[in-house]
Amino acid sequence: MNYRIAPSIIAADWSRFEEEMEKAKMGDFVHVDVMDGHFVPNITLGPDVAKALYRATGKPLDVHLMLTHPDAYIGRFFFEGVFRITVHYESAAILTYTFNRIREAGIKVGVAISPDTPAERVFKLLPRVDQVLVMTVYPGFSGQRMLEWVLPKVETLHRFREEMGLRFTITVDGGVNVENLKKIGPADEVVMGSAFFGGRMQVGKFTT
């Protein structure tokens, strides 16, 4: 299986910024984890840093919002370079409203599900989104081990997509590395943080 690869920028060593940005350019696009210290117990970066990441890499940005109130901030991410914004199902967003705002800005829409949220919970939303992000760690930190018991959701979503004739992208995010890549199944994209920047990956050779 061939997956598009998105390096997760929060796993980069920011003290070696230029070198890490060169690595990030080898991905298909760049995954940007935005955390508010409330929805998840960590704080990462905001729109100004995201803009700088686009200037530094020239790669399309995939913005993963881990915010309790994404509606209060999504507008700040409507800038050149952002091709998709993913909002958590578990956030306080009124999702259909949020999706419309993102779409009206000409940006693709994603919905993310944390490990404990069953895939079936988002079935109704799937005709309205471009992507489902399946979290295989509890959101908040890179460098965690993949929770492999979450992986059957990928199959479930794939089957639903086929049955309904839908076209959304399936992305797996959390603890992905070369060893567990072959267990991921019918996803289209993987996010890789620590495995990508940790130095063991050979970008461009992720075929399983």
Tell me the closest approach of the beta carbon of residue 36 to ligand DX5, in angstroms.
12
- Beta-strand pair 30-35/4-7: unpaired
- Which of 142, 153, 181, 184 contacts ligand DX5 by CB under 6 A? 142
- Which of 62, 191, 201, 206 contacts ligand DX5 by CB under 6 A? 191
174 is a site residue for ligand DX5 (CB under 6 A)? yes
The tokens of 166 are what? 């839908």
28 flagged as catalytic: no
Q: Would you say 138 or 160 has its CB closer to ligand DX5? A: 138
Residues with Cβ < 8 Å from 159, sequence gap 6 or more?
none
113-121, 124-132, 156-164, 173-181 -> range binding ligand DX5 (CB under 6 A):
173-181
CB atoms within 10 A of CB 149: 9
- Which of 39, 61, 139, 172 contacts ligand DX5 by CB under 6 A? 139
The closest of 115, 46, 54 to 74, measured between CA atoms, is 46
48 flagged as catalytic: no
173 is a site residue for ligand DX5 (CB under 6 A)? yes
> Which residue out of 28, 36, 173, 188 is catalytically annotated?
173
Tell me the closest approach of the beta carbon of residue 181 to ligand DX5, in angstroms.
11
11's contact among Zn ion, ligand DX5, none, with CB below 5 to 8 A by partner kind, is ligand DX5
Q: What are phi and psi of 9, to 5 degrees?
A: -65, -25
- Beta-strand pair 169-173/82-88: unpaired
Which residues in the chain belong to E strands, given as ranges?
Answer: 4-7, 30-35, 61-66, 82-88, 108-113, 131-135, 169-173, 189-192
- Which of 21, 137, 157, 201 contacts ligand DX5 by CB under 6 A? 137
Footprint of ligand DX5 on residues 9-38 (CB under 6 A)?
10-11, 31, 33
192's contact among ligand DX5, Zn ion, none, with CB below 5 to 8 A by partner kind, is ligand DX5
- Angle between helix 47-57 and 17-24 (nearest 10): 70
Residues with Cβ < 8 Å from 179, sequence gap 6 or more?
none
Residue identified by tokens 């895939």 is 119
Q: Which residues of the shown chain bind ligand DX5 in the complex (CB under 6 A)?
A: 8, 10-11, 31, 33, 64, 137, 139-140, 142-144, 173-176, 191-195
Q: Enumerate the active-site residues.
A: 33, 173
